[in-house]
């Protein structure tokens, strides 16, 4: 797609554009200049999309990328005539999608025949050799991607349509959502291969790490997790808000050219499947070209499949097998297809990570927010190398929807790193002795009556001092992604709590080590480890503390957003819901919950004790500046700034701990006067205590703060 020379040039161009942007706004004088600048920005952004989403080898930081993107958007806003149909900004559509209309695929999207062992493969190879009359066939072996099938049409080198698989003949048109996936180029030079119209097939997927984060966020919002990345991908493709699709971190791998129309007199297209993959790669798609092997004979195919099964978990995405394809496209044509599958391809399915077991009973666990989770206890069953005996059922609705009963034989699945879940009960195996699952109406731990609000699927114990909740809150606080006090795992927290040694979260910092010494199993070594881990937790970055507090709906990502918006955690006490919602990705529900937390007396008291125990409560960007921060200083801007927007300058002040005022008064410390400053400047001049700065002076002040940060 981009040769090393082009890459070097585009890397340089990116740096140059960033330098230009740092100096001033991307002003373009004439129309010609605007078009040229927009062209450069588009080229650089497109190239960086490819580096990031196709090559997984980013060259720019997120902030740098955002700066280029914002500049292009601003430029296009003032010069709409320069907007190109495939400009990176044009991925983002306007409103919501009302319906996904049905579309006929140019060629039906067939399935694959499945094989599960060497015999199946050998038999298929025998038939293939027989039908072609060849002694040995050349095969391409590539992963079978476990995502959502899509088909894309490119006309005159532009993406014109994206569709789901549907029933194979007719799919749903999802072009606006497909355009959100930045691994899919909006334009691709098929014409350079002599192709006018092309229909290509592939799979939309979510990488395992992104999927895991996604489910963590759902858990923080008390939503049941999605079962696997495949469901997450196919669900994401059908979301009505394309902007939400863009946030899901989807990727796409394209592996099949199902239809193409030659341009007159230009039959340059590839003649092998490997050639197709290479072509797709060179056009800027993510294709299996690098994950594929061309081999001769079925024995090599078998070896390849076995080896791939070993490496399966090391891949960043889920694959559920390998696909073996006859490499020669003319031979493929000759072999043809059934109504169900092509005869020239065969899927080799890995051993299923599923098992069946008996559902013996259901336990009800109370979480840190009081939500009661049903957990199925099943006869231990090995699945994909792990023995599973306990499976979360999430909530009452899930149990009802699946119609699970005690005594059912259940199908259990455990995909990759994903937590195991019950797919369904085997209804045919019921003998009438199965019993309905009864949900408790009182808390199984403290006996308080449970409540269920109409907008939630969880039953909740609202007794905040319920032992289960207190213990779970402490367990969450010390967990790996929060304050990371590892030697204080769930067992110890429970034990210490029961002994009255650890009544609540702040209790961690006043543990009586003399008493712990007397406990069985706590030698000097393990106590020292615990002491060290607790000490270390005092210096954790602020977002870990915020996450560790277990505020409802606040997962790791939200905790980071909050931490970077404040100087000290105490600042959040002054933030109202409206101010919170102005933060990126914080909606009214989350804002409401954060606000409730930081206005609750018990919580504020807890924070006070944590602070006085030496737990870090400050955001990283100022922590090291000590007395040199703008903390406690007040600012007011007037007039026009030339190098930055007023809002940016105000953010800088807040980011350094300063406060903004609306009017000139004796409370004001600094007035920053831009061009054409008027009455406020005059008024400020009359108050001796107000320091008047111009833009350069302000930047210098901020710059000094920054130096302080690095200097420590």
Residue whose CB is less far from ligand IVH, 348 or 421 = 348
Residues 6+ apart with CB under 8 A from 589: 221, 553
Give yes or no for residue 342 binding ligand IVH (CB under 6 A).
Answer: yes
We find the least distance from the C-beta atom of residue 347 to ligand IVH, in angstroms, to be 6
Stretch that binds ligand IVH, among 143-151, 231-239, 482-490, 587-595 (CB under 6 A): 143-151
Q: Is 707 a catalytic residue?
A: no
Residue whose CB is less far from ligand IVH, 322 or 502 = 322
Distance CA 158, CA 593 (A): 45
Distance CA 94, CA 141 (A): 41
Stretch that binds ligand IVH, among 138-146, 174-182, 187-195, 671-679 (CB under 6 A): 138-146
We find the least distance from the C-beta atom of residue 328 to ligand IVH, in angstroms, to be 15
Q: Percentage helix, strand, coil, to 5, in the chain?
A: 40, 20, 35
Give yes or no for residue 225 binding ligand IVH (CB under 6 A).
Answer: no
Residue whose CB is less far from ligand IVH, 184 or 516 = 184
Q: What residues between 512 and 531 interact with ligand IVH by CB under 6 A?
A: none
Give yes or no for residue 460 binding ligand IVH (CB under 6 A).
Answer: no
Residue whose CB is less far from ligand IVH, 112 or 653 = 112
Give yes or no for residue 162 binding ligand IVH (CB under 6 A).
Answer: no
Stretch that binds ligand IVH, among 144-152, 466-474, 572-580, 687-695 (CB under 6 A): 144-152
Give yes or no for residue 249 binding ligand IVH (CB under 6 A).
Answer: no
We find the least distance from the C-beta atom of residue 1 to ligand IVH, in angstroms, to be 20
We find the least distance from the C-beta atom of residue 250 to ligand IVH, in angstroms, to be 15
Stretch that binds ligand IVH, among 123-131, 139-147, 240-248, 522-530 (CB under 6 A): 139-147
Residues 347-376: x/- map of binding to ligand IVH (CB under 6 A)? Answer: x-----------------------------
Give yes or no for residue 280 binding ligand IVH (CB under 6 A).
Answer: no
Q: Which two tokens stand for residue 484?
A: 């990371």
We find the least distance from the C-beta atom of residue 286 to ligand IVH, in angstroms, to be 12
As separate numbers, helices (DSSP H) first and strands (DSSP E) second, the chain gives 25, 24
Q: Of 46, 91, 105, 144, which lies in the binding site for ligand IVH, with binding defined by CB under 6 A?
A: 144
Residue whose CB is less far from ligand IVH, 144 or 182 = 144
List 149's β-bridge partners, or say none. 203
Residue whose CB is less far from ligand IVH, 112 or 206 = 112
We find the least distance from the C-beta atom of residue 318 to ligand IVH, in angstroms, to be 11
Q: Of 149, 185, 246, 657, which lies in the binding site for ligand IVH, with binding defined by CB under 6 A?
A: 149
Q: Which two tokens stand for residue 175?
A: 């072009």
Stretch that binds ligand IVH, among 118-126, 206-214, 339-347, 612-620 (CB under 6 A): 339-347
Q: Of 138, 157, 203, 695, which lies in the binding site for ligand IVH, with binding defined by CB under 6 A?
A: 203
Q: Of 17, 153, 323, 655, which lies in the binding site for ligand IVH, with binding defined by CB under 6 A?
A: 323
Stretch that binds ligand IVH, among 342-350, 363-371, 654-662, 695-703 (CB under 6 A): 342-350
**Shortest CA distance to 223 belongs to which of 235, 234, 237?**
235
Give yes or no for residue 234 binding ligand IVH (CB under 6 A).
Answer: no
Distance CA 552, CA 461 (A): 14
Give yes or no for residue 142 binding ligand IVH (CB under 6 A).
Answer: yes
We find the least distance from the C-beta atom of residue 101 to ligand IVH, in angstroms, to be 21
Q: Which two tokens stand for residue 610?
A: 């944590």
We find the least distance from the C-beta atom of residue 168 to ligand IVH, in angstroms, to be 8
> In what helix (H) or strand (E) does residue 35 lie, and over which residues does it extend?
helix 31-49
Q: Of 47, 65, 145, 497, which lies in the binding site for ligand IVH, with binding defined by CB under 6 A?
A: 145
We find the least distance from the C-beta atom of residue 142 to ligand IVH, in angstroms, to be 5
Which DSSP letter does residue 274 get? H
186 and 175 in contact (C-beta within 8 Å)? no
Q: What are the DSSP calls for 612-651, one per residue?
A: HTT---B-HHHHTTGGGS-TT-EEEEESB-SSS-HHHHHH
- The single residue of 144, 208, 325, 623 carrying the catalytic annotation is 144
Residues 505, 511, 517: CA angle, nearest 5 degrees: 140
> In what helix (H) or strand (E) does residue 244 lie, and over which residues does it extend?
helix 242-246
What is the 3-state secondary structure of 393-450?
Answer: CCCHHHHHHHCCEECCEEEEECCCCCCCEEEEECHHHCCCCCEECCCCCECCCCCCEE
Dihedral sign for Cα atoms in the order 294, 300, 302, 307: negative
We find the least distance from the C-beta atom of residue 147 to ligand IVH, in angstroms, to be 7
By beta carbon distance, the residue nearest ligand IVH is 149
Q: What residues between 6 and 25 interact with ligand IVH by CB under 6 A?
A: none
We find the least distance from the C-beta atom of residue 111 to ligand IVH, in angstroms, to be 5
Residue whose CB is less far from ligand IVH, 270 or 643 = 270
Give yes or no for residue 345 binding ligand IVH (CB under 6 A).
Answer: yes
Residue whose CB is less far from ligand IVH, 279 or 393 = 279
Residue whose CB is less far from ligand IVH, 142 or 472 = 142
**Shortest CA distance to 358 belongs to which of 303, 406, 424?**
406
Total chain residues near ligand IVH (CB under 6 A): 15
Q: Which two tokens stand for residue 259?
A: 């239809």
545 and 483 in contact (C-beta within 8 Å)? yes
How many alpha carbons fall within 13 Å on the CB side of residue 413?
14
Q: Which two tokens stand for residue 534?
A: 């607790």
Give yes or no for residue 90 binding ligand IVH (CB under 6 A).
Answer: no
Collapsed DSSP state (helix, strand, coil) of residue 304: helix
137 and 129 in contact (C-beta within 8 Å)? yes
Q: What residues between 166 and 185 interact with ligand IVH by CB under 6 A?
A: none
Distance CA 413, CA 216 (A): 19
We find the least distance from the C-beta atom of residue 163 to ligand IVH, in angstroms, to be 13
Q: What residues between 645 and 674 interact with ligand IVH by CB under 6 A?
A: none
| 405-406 vs 409-413, strand pairing mode | unpaired
Give yes or no for residue 256 binding ligand IVH (CB under 6 A).
Answer: yes
> Distances in Å between the alpha carbon of 682 and those of 2, 500, 639, 667, 687?
58, 64, 12, 16, 9
Largest CA distance in the chain: 99
**Shortest CA distance to 238 belongs to which of 173, 153, 147?**
173
Residues 6+ apart with CB under 8 A from 152: 159, 161, 162, 163, 178, 184, 199, 200, 201, 202, 254
Q: What residues between 91 and 130 interact with ligand IVH by CB under 6 A?
A: 110-112
Collapsed DSSP state (helix, strand, coil) of residue 385: coil
Residues classed as catalytic = 144
Contacting positions for ligand IVH (CB under 6 A): 110-112, 142, 144-145, 149, 201, 203, 255-256, 323, 342, 345, 347
């Amino acid at each position: 797609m981009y040769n090393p020379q082009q890459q070097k040039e585009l890397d340089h161009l990116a740096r140059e554009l960033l330098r230009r942007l740092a100096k001033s706004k991307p002003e373009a004088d004439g129309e010609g200049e605007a078009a040229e600048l927009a062209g450069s920005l588009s080229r650089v952004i497109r190239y960086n999309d490819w580096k990031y989403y196709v090559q997984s080898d980013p060259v720019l930081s997120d902030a740098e990328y955002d700066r280029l993107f914002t500049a292009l958007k601003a430029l296009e806003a003032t010069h709409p005539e320069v907007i190109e149909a495939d400009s990176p900004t044009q991925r983002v559509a306007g409103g919501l999608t009302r319906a996904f209309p049905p579309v006929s695929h140019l060629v039906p999207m067939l399935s694959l025949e499945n094989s599960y062992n060497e015999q199946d493969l050998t038999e298929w190879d025998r038939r293939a050799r027989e039908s072609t009359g060849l002694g040995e066939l050349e095969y391409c072996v590539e992963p079978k991607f476990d995502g959502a099938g899509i088909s894309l049409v490119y006309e005159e080198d532009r993406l014109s349509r994206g569709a789901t698989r549907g029933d194979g003949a007719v799919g749903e048109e999802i072009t606006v959502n497909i355009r959100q996936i930045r691994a899919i180029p909006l334009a691709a030079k098929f014409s350079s291969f002599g192709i006018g119209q092309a229909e290509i097939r592939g799979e939309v997927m979510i990488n395992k790490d992104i999927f895991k984060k996604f489910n963590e966020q759902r858990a923080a919002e008390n939503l049941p997790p999605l079962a696997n990345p495949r469901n997450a991908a196919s669900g994401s493709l059908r979301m009505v808000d394309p902007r939400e699709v863009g946030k899901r971190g989807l990727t796409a791998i394209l592996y099949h050219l199902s239809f193409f129309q030659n341009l007159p007199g230009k039959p340059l297209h590839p003649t092998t499947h490997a050639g197709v993959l290479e072509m797709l790669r060179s056009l800027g798609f993510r294709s299996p070209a690098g994950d594929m092997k061309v081999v001769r004979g079925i024995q090599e195919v078998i070896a390849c499949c076995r080896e791939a099964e070993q490496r399966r978990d090391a891949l960043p995405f889920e694959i559920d097998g390998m696909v073996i394809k006859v490499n020669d496209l003319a031979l493929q044509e000759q072999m043809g297809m059934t109504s169900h599958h092509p005869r020239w391809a065969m899927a080799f399915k890995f051993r299923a990570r599923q098992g069946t077991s008996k559902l013996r009973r259901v336990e009800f666990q109370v979480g840190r927010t009081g939500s009661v989770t049903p957990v199925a206890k099943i006869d231990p069953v090995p699945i994909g190398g792990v023995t599973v005996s306990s499976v979360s059922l999430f909530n009452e609705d899930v149990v009802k929807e699946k119609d699970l009963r005690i005594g059912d034989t259940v199908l259990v699945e455990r995909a990759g790193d994903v937590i195991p879940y019950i797919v369904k009960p085997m209804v045919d195996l019921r003998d009438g002795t199965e019993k309905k699952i009864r949900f408790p109406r009182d808390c199984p731990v403290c006996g308080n009556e449970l409540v269920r609000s109409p907008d939630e699927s969880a039953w909740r114990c609202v007794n905040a001092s319920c032992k289960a909740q207190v213990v779970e809150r402490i367990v969450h606080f010390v967990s790996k992604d929060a304050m990371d006090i590892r030697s204080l795992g769930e067992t110890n927290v429970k034990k210490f709590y029961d002994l009255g040694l650890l009544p609540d979260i702040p209790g961690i910092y006043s543990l009586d080590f003399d008493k712990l010494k007397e406990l069985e199993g706590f030698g000097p070594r393990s106590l020292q480890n615990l002491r060290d881990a607790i000490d270390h937790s005092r210096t954790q970055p602020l977002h870990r503390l915020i996450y560790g507090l277990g505020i409802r709906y606040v997962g790791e990502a939200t905790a980071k957003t909050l931490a970077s918006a404040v100087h000290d955690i105490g600042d959040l006490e002054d933030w109202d819901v409206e101010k919170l919602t102005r933060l990126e990705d914080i909606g009214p529900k989350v804002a409401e919950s954060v606000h409730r937390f930081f206005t609750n007396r018990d919580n504020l008291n807890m924070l006070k004790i944590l602070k006085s125990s030496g737990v870090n409560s400050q955001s990283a960007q100022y922590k090291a500046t000590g007395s040199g921060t703008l903390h406690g200083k007040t600012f007011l801007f007037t007039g026009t700034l030339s190098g930055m927007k007023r809002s940016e300058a105000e953010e800088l002040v807040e980011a350094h701990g300063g406060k903004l005022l609306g009017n000139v008064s004796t409370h004001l410390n600094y007035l920053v006067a831009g061009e054409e400053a008027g009455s406020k400047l005059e008024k400020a001049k009359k108050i001796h205590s107000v320091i008047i700065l111009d833009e350069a002076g302000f930047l210098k002040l901020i710059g000094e703060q920054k130096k302080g940060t690095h200097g420590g």
